[in-house]
Amino acid sequence: MADEPAVDAALATKDGGLLRGTWRKVTFALVTGILTFASGAWELGNKALDNFQNRSTVVVLNDLALRALERGEYAAAEGFLSTAITITPSSVRPIETRAALKTLQLVAAQYKAGDAVPDDIVEQLEEVGLSRDEANFCIAVCTYSKGGTPEVRKRAEGYLSAITDAEPRLALLKRSRLAGQVLLPQIGEQTPLYDRSTIVNRVKQLLAELDERLPKINGTSGETIQAGFFSTNRKNEDKAFIDGIRREVFTIRTLVEGESLKIACIKNPNAVPANGQEQQLLVKLQEARESVPVKSPLAESIGEQIVNYSNPNPQTAADALPATSTAAENSLESLRSIAVKAKQAGKWAEARKTLGDVVTKAKGADSETLYKTYFNLALIAEYHENNLDQAEEYFTKAEEIRSRLKIADPSLPNTFGYFWYKRARDTHDAGARKVYAEKSRIQLQKALAINPGYSKSINTLDGLQRLLESPRGKGESAS
């Protein structure tokens, strides 16, 4: 009996130990369960966050692809879409956008190869999700970016004109692209005055419509009509878009200013622009060129105007040379001055005949007067008779005399270089373009050898380089 308290104490200790062990197991199980739940919740939360971020990334990539489609940059669009589909293979919007891209790439290839484009191409784009306005816009971009001929630009104009004003973004793009990418690039050196004036007046009307719509779009809360793929309601994107349109408007307005000056000069060839007007325009054109893509049709138009206004009135170049001094020279110079007055009065046939008399009386003897006479004959043949072969012959004779007499006059080789530049620009034969470009370069470098700072030749050389680097210069403008 003496051992009973010890036994009771041992049992009590054992029961307490058992109790404590049970609670320890329960507590451990509870803690483990809580930790497992928390870990699972954390993992699920991370997965949800990853999915959300992936969806957001895909949306951004799809939007970037759509913006690339707007610009006709199909390789960039393909890159954005490939990344988006890699992140989320089952995402519907990138798949739809890629379907539109594939259709547009097919159309671009057909335009480039000169193959027939299906009549129902707009309907095909509607089937993959684009609105009709978006389809017409994309085909227009595809058209004017693949060719520079009047026929191609007319086709692009038709697609742009078919776009309604249902969606504000496309309403602005329609006007800016029609003005800057389709209408203005149609104006060339030989564009008749009536056609030139018609295009300029039409562009002025489009600029007025852009000015009217821009404040309204910019002043809204960012809401737009959701008409299709290209619609947007994000304020930041809207602001960037509007800023881009405003830069385009500035560029187009600068080009119109230049064309208006050109029209005034054509209407009155003897009129002299206001002091510094052409130089101020050149500065604005240089500024405008910095704000547009290097190889865009708009940049090409700006570069062309820079070259044109660097050589504002080549027909007066031969008349601005210093007078001669010997008696024999003065006799021929007096006869030449009669021809110059006839030319300034618009009596081109009379001027040409009198200049021919100067050549006859000179009897082939080198002189500054004979040099200037051939210079004038070349300009009449080019600008008023459109006889380029005859103009080339006269330019060559004038240049030979200048070289033999060592006349330090950069205007003749510059004008001869400009003559070849225009031929390189206007030909559709890639081989002929290279030949004309090299002849232009040789003459322009002669002018710069006489006067290294001669801005006319510097700008024309720059325009020549841009021409050769453009898709048209590389023979990629087939339509």
**Token couple for 297:** 């049709």
Helix/strand/coil percent split, the chain, to 5? 75, 0, 25
CA distance 162 to 210: 17
CB atoms near residue 234 (< 10 Å): 12
What is the C-alpha to C-alpha distance for residues 228 and 133, in angstroms, rounded to an integer? 9
Burial environment of residue 236 by CB neighbours within 10 A (0 to 12, 13 to 18, 19 or more) = exposed
- Residue 292 has what pLDDT? 63
Q: What is the pLDDT of residue 74?
A: 78
In this structure, are residues 207 and 256 in contact, taking their beta carbons and an 8 Å threshold? yes
- Assigned token pair, 447: 């002018």
Res 39: pLDDT: 61
Q: What is the pLDDT of residue 396?
A: 93
pLDDT attached to residue 306 = 73
What is the pLDDT, as a whole number, of residue 477?
42
Q: What pLDDT was estimated at residue 99?
A: 77
- pTM for the full model? 0.55
Nearest to 384 by CA among 296, 264, 286, 269: 269
**Whole-angstrom Cα distance, residue 172 to residue 179?**
11
Query: What average pLDDT values come out for the chain (479 residues) when binned by 10 residues?
Result: 51 50 64 63 53 66 76 79 78 75 74 66 78 84 66 80 86 89 77 85 93 67 46 58 82 84 69 57 69 64 69 58 54 82 79 87 85 88 85 92 89 90 84 91 92 84 82 52
Q: What is the dihedral of CA 56, 59, 64, 70, to 10 degrees?
A: -160
Question: Which secondary structure element, helix H or strand E, spans residue 150, and what is its range?
Answer: helix 150-161
- Digit-coded pLDDT (tens) for 24-40: 666 666 666 666 655 65
Q: What CA–CA distance (Å, rounded) separates 177 from 137?
A: 9
CA angle 112, 114, 119 (to 5 degrees): 100
Q: Closest Cα to residue 189, out of 295, 271, 307, 277?
A: 307
Check residue 355 and give its pLDDT. 86
